[in-house]
Amino acid sequence: METPIVGVVAPGNNGIFPTQPWQFFDLIFGAMLGVFGPLVQKVRNGDCWSRLANLGTLLVGLGSVWDMPLVTSSYAIINLITSVYFALQGMRIAADTCISQYNFSVQNPWKLVFYSKG
């Protein structure tokens, strides 16, 4: 059974722009997913769900760093450091948002009204 080698560029693709049919779908899906997170976060006013959805796409993008051997060029190291920084900031902001949203929902009297109707 033949398995693909991680980090190897597809045959005939020497650049960033896709040349194979499946690569176009990968590019379109990646672009849609990359636009989805920030737009949903803006529409939902940065609530817990939207921050976690945006954080998930950020972490998936960060995971692609480990798909190939670590490159030690200055650009790659700076890119890695900024990506990790933004991922940590996203985790902190998402945790703060979710904790404050949970605390508000616990103090909100809608639960008492909900339980009294049932």
What are the structural domain ranges in the chain?
A: 21-117
Residue-wise pLDDT for 41-50, tens only, equals: 889 998 999 9
Give the Cα separation of 99 and 95 in Å (integer): 6
pLDDT of 88 reads: 94
For 77, other C-beta atoms within 10 Å of its C-beta total 12
Residue-wise pLDDT for 56-105, tens only, equals: 888 888 887 777 788 788 988 898 899 899 999 999 999 999 999 888 88
Residues contacting residue 23 through CB under 8 Å, at least 6 positions apart: 10, 13
Describe the crossing of helices 48-63 and 21-43 by its angle, rounded to 10 degrees.
150
Describe the crossing of helices 48-63 and 74-107 by its angle, rounded to 10 degrees.
160
Global pTM exceeds 0.75: no
Closest CA to 4 of 31, 27, 22, 28: 22
